[in-house]
Structure formats: C-alpha cells, structure tokens
Amino acid sequence: MSMLSRRQFVQGGSVVAAMLLAGCGSSSSGADASSAPADGEYKLVNEGKLTCISNLFFPPFESMNEASGEPEGFDIDVSKELAKHMGLEINWLPSQDFDTLVPTIKQGGKADIAIAGMTITDARKAEVDMSEPYVDSNQSIVVKSGSTETAETLDDASKTIAVQGGTTGADWADENLPNATKKRLSTIIDAMSGCQSGLYDAVVCDLPVSSYQIKESYTDLQIIEEIPTGEQYGIAISKDNPGLTAAVNAALAEMEEDGTMAAIEMEWFGSEI
Ligand code: ARG
C-alpha cells in the first residue's frame, strides 16, 4: 500500500467529530491522495494512528524504560492523551537525534508530530508549525558538587561546557559563554555523565531536566545558576498539515480543561508546573 493512500483524512472541526470519524476507519470522503485536505481535516502518516518522534534521552520528559523497552515520560503521557482525545492510537518511533526532529517533520512522511521538550523558537517556527505551549521552562548551569565554578569563571577557553547539539541550551552557551570550549553531544545524559566523571566542567541544559536528573541519578552534580530564559515547549507539526495543528491544539486545550495535564504534571513532577 502506498504511503499516500494510507493517509487518513479526518473530517471535522471538533474533536468529537474527529473521534467519530476516526472510529469509522479509513477515509471514505473520496479525497484522492493528491488533493490537499480541506479545512478542519488532517492527514496522518499511518491511518488511525498518531505517529510520534523524539530524542528519548531527556528525562523526565522522555526516556526509554529499560525493563519494558517502551518510551516513558511526561511527553509520552501527553502524546498518549493527545491520541486518546483525538480518537487515535499512539505509535512511537525509535529515538533520533534532537537536531533531526524538525527536519524530519518538515520533510514529512515519517511522523505526524515531534514531542520532545522542544522550545518554541522563531527559527523552528520558520520550518514547522508549533502547537500552543504546554510547558514553561528555563535554562541551568550544572557543575560537580563542591565546584567553585561560576558563569564568569566558566567563560574561558580552558573550560569545557557540554550541551546537547541543536538545543536552546547550546545556543545559550554560544551566546553567553563565548570564550568557553563547547562540546556538542547527542544526548544530555552523555553531558551529565561526562560532567560527573570530570570530562567536562559544566553542562547547560533545561532546568526541569537538570533538577530532575540531579535528584534521581546525578546526586553529585549541582545547579549553580538558574537562567530565566522564559522558554515554552510546543509540539512540532508540518506546515503542510494545519488541520493537525488545529486538532492538537484543541486536544491540548481539552487536556488543560479536564485536568489531564495537571495529572501528568503531578505524576512526573509531584506538583503542577
Ligand atoms: N528545550 C530544548 C530545546 O528545545 C532542549 C530539548 C531537548 N529535547 C530532547 N528530547 N532531547 O532546544
């Protein structure tokens, strides 16, 4: 079956209508594969499924549960509830590098959404659509416990700052620690482990992730600076699929209303964030 013919065109401006139609199976609206979906409709790469991509090394937002081999975390729960509110099944693809997520969504054909603790930025909005924000975030600088480093002492060529490539943390370090040596890694876990073992002098990464990681796993690391960048996370969707962005936004709004989002925040952060 060709990719195009498997695309599903879901009708309806309301989530209820989308759920009813999705329940009926594939499109019977006569939409041929070459025509663009009409207002309020959206296409999916796999019929009846919300297919998601992420970089699955960003706890507590996303990580792989070693025991079950399944992804888990805040964003995973959000994706499952999104799918449920949209009357779809959930379909998670294997982890990929963070900086390939926006290009993959832009190119189309592989996944419907990227949900990855992804900050809404103008640069990303030029490439893909971003949903309404669903989490607020900031940056942080992490060093070994007992270290006397400060943002000032770290801004030196002899100091190595580990970041995840393609992230807003990497951008922040480039702009604000211009003299330091930057090490771009493919996951923030590599950055934290390397800082722990003394390979890197500091890590710059999203504050909710560094605080969670220090509490859960890296108890010998500490945050020396919280940086109020005022970031907001959104879900990336192709610009060719505005109906899907609308449906995701509608489902997110319902999840705020019906307490689903608050429950997911309690589950992963022990409080509403
Ligand atoms: N919020 C940061 C950004 O958007 C970091 C996101 C990293 N996410 C991940 N799943 N590794 O650039």
- pTM equals 0.86
> Is the residue at 223 inside a domain?
yes
Ligand 1 midpoint to CA 212 (Å): 15
Structurally, the chain folds into a number of domains equal to 2
Determine which residue's CA is closest to atom 5 belonging to ligand 1. 167
Q: Do you find a cis peptide bond into 60, omega within 30 degrees of 0?
A: yes
The answer to whether residues 180 and 146 belong to one domain is yes
Per the structure block, which two tokens stand in for 123?
């640069």
Question: Residue 185: beta bridge partners?
Answer: 164
> Is the residue at 51 inside a domain?
yes
Question: Of 55, 62, 96, 98, which is best to mutate to test ligand 1, by the most ligand atoms within 8 angstroms of its C-beta?
Answer: 98
The answer to whether residues 15 and 93 belong to one domain is yes
pLDDT of residue 35: 54
Question: Of 79, 101, 119, which is best to mutate to test ligand 1, by the most ligand atoms within 8 angstroms of its C-beta?
Answer: 119
> Is the residue at 184 inside a domain?
yes
The answer to whether residues 74 and 156 belong to one domain is no
Atom of ligand 1 nearest to the CA of 116: 10
Distances (CA, A) of 11 to 19, 236, 250: 9, 21, 14
Q: CA-CA distance, 157 to 179, in Å (whole number)?
A: 5
Q: What 3-state DSSP class applies to 90?
A: strand
Nearest-5° Cα angle at 22, 110 to 261: 75
Per the structure block, which two tokens stand in for 55?
């970089």
The answer to whether residues 39 and 127 belong to one domain is yes
Question: 122-150, pLDDT tens digit by residue?
Answer: 999 999 999 999 999 999 999 999 999 99
> Is the residue at 260 inside a domain?
yes
Residue type, 63: S
The answer to whether residues 36 and 165 belong to one domain is no
> Is the residue at 1 inside a domain?
no
Ligand 1 midpoint to CA 50 (Å): 21
Question: 225-256, pLDDT tens digit by residue?
Answer: 999 999 999 999 999 999 999 999 999 999 99
Ligand 1 pocket, residue 47 CB under 6 Å: no
Q: Concatenated DSSP letters for 117-163? A: SPBP-HHHHHHSEE-S--EEEEEEEEEETT----HHHHSSTT-EEEE
Ligand 1 midpoint to CA 36 (Å): 31
Look up the CATH number of the domain holding residue 114: 3.40.190.10
Question: 149-197, pLDDT tens digit by residue?
Answer: 999 999 999 999 999 999 999 999 999 999 999 999 999 999 999 999 9
Does an H or E element contain 184, and which? strand 181-185
The answer to whether residues 25 and 130 belong to one domain is yes
Ligand 1 pocket, residue 62 CB under 6 Å: yes
Per the structure block, which two tokens stand in for 195?
């800082």
Domain that holds residue 155: 137-231
